[in-house]
Homo-oligomer: A and B are copies of this chain.
Amino acid sequence: MRNFAFGLAVLALASSANAQQAQPAPVVAPISAEQQRNVERLRNAALESDLAWDIVEGLVTDVGPRLAASEAEARAREWSAAMLRRQGFSNVRIEPFTMPFWDAVREEASIVSPSRQPMVIAALGGSAPTPEGGLEAEVIRFESLAALEAATSAQVQGRIVFIDERMTRTQDGSGYGPAVAKRGGCASRAQARGAAACIIRSVGTDTQRVAHQGGSVRQMPLGTSLPVAALSPADADVLGRLAQGGAVRVNLNIQVEVRDEAPSGNVIAEIRGRERPEEIVLLAAHLDSWDLGQGAVDDGAGVAIITAAAKLIRDLPRRPRRTIRILLAGAEENGVFGGREYGRVHGSETHVVAAESDFGAGRIYSVSTLFNEDALQYARAIQRQLAPLGVNLGNNTTGGGADVDAIRRTGAAIVDLNQDGSLYFDVHHTPNDTLDAIDPEALRQNVAAWAVFAYLVADSDWVLTPPAPPAE
């Protein structure tokens, strides 16, 4: 019986396969024998290479955290340019720009009644300062940003708004959007209702005693907003229990340093295309970081992945047809200043495709695209070469990352190598964004996938561009 049943199952599978074959097979663009050899060489070399690890280790050791427009970010640009020259890239240059500067020089909070205890907080980017010594007020707790939006000024007036909303852990990072709304929305909603300040449960999925940094406003400069900070999960737990039990008063002390204009910059490097040098395959990551952590995961990993991938392509017997350009953008965290500046300066150039690595170093599990429908054969060709790395074919509706957004808006095609972000928001924007949070094996898999993708597009004459630029 068992064998018979097994035979039936096999027949059913075969029949199902036949049914599928009755449909026309999706077209997969061919690649040459040389390209196939190079793809295999890139995959194998990447899976044995420590280069990406060495780059991110070097960045966090020699530079450390590098807040947008800070002196440390300037050191990171110099460090990166020297490293890129050492790796043999062409046209290595720093493209400077200026932007407003914001930093928290003091961020402290404590419950003062019903009993006194300290809390672990992080001032959010763009927060206004409190008076010297802090402000003390009663807390009003809301389950969500929506609950605050439903509140009246009479309830909120003069109080510290506390939004206690939790984030959902997901593989693809889709829990971030709903959770981060309170980070960007709390200050304005609270201010409109006359609140004294706004504090939020950190936007994160961990239970560590750290607060998650992040921008609290869409656009710098600020200082016109409220004081706004994130609490560690354990402190949000305590405050939530106390606030549900009766009146709670909190002292919040945030002091900030702001400058209207400070230097930042993008770092650029290239492998010049051998046949079509004016056609650019853009690989982007960002160089700045929040400063409680080391910026290892966000986005030292991305810097290391795209650099190591490009270096492996540079080491091939001959350069690809098209130019591969590395963009290490400045000042992403605080308002995508580097990405927008790149768009302003380079938006008129021909970008065949743009892709960004800015979601840590989790394993890549799928490749999504924003291609012309006629170009999906090329998406399939890329995925076929990524399949040995465990990469599936994703959708054709991806938006790309923040630093390639300006280039997407010029009509460029986009590729997203989707990383497993299940653990990303445990350390994102926290003191725990350190080197040990990177899995070296997953990092190598990332490099392999990026090298294969970038090489295939760069060594082709594929036209990927969607028929028309997407609406603004």
Contacts and interface: CB of A to CB of B under 8 A. Distances in A.
Contacts of A62: 114-115
A42 to B, nearest CB: 29
A435 B64 CA distance: 31
Interface in A94-145: 111, 114-118, 120
A293 B232 CA distance: 12
A72 interface: yes
Contacts of A116: 64, 71-72
B210 A72 contact: no
User: How many of these chains are in the complex?
Assistant: 2
Interface string A188-221: 0000000000000000000111100000000000
A238 B60 contact: yes
Interface in A288-302: 291-294
A207 B435 CA distance: 10
B209 A430 contact: yes
A208 B437 CA distance: 9
Interface in A59-94: 60-65, 71-72, 75
A234 interface: yes
Contacts of A233: 436
A431 B209 contact: yes
B294 A238 contact: yes
A434 interface: yes
Nearest to A71: B116
A28 B295 CA distance: 60
**Which of A57, A232, A436: most chain B Cβ within 10 A?**
A436
A446 interface: no
A55 to B, nearest CB: 14
A208 to B, nearest CB: 6
B434 A234 contact: yes
A262 interface: no
B238 A64 contact: yes
A115 B436 CA distance: 20
12 contacts: A60-B238, A61-B238, A61-B241, A62-B115, A64-B117, A64-B118, A71-B116, A207-B434, A208-B432, A209-B292, A234-B294, A234-B435
Given A62-B115, A63-B117, 5 more contacts: A64-B115, A72-B117, A118-B291, A208-B210, A210-B210
Interface of A: 57, 60-65, 71-72, 75, 111, 114-118, 120, 207-210, 232-234, 237-238, 241-242, 291-294, 430-432, 434-437
Counting from the closest, the 6 A-B pairs by CB-CB distance are A64-B117, A234-B434, A209-B431, A207-B436, A209-B432, A61-B241
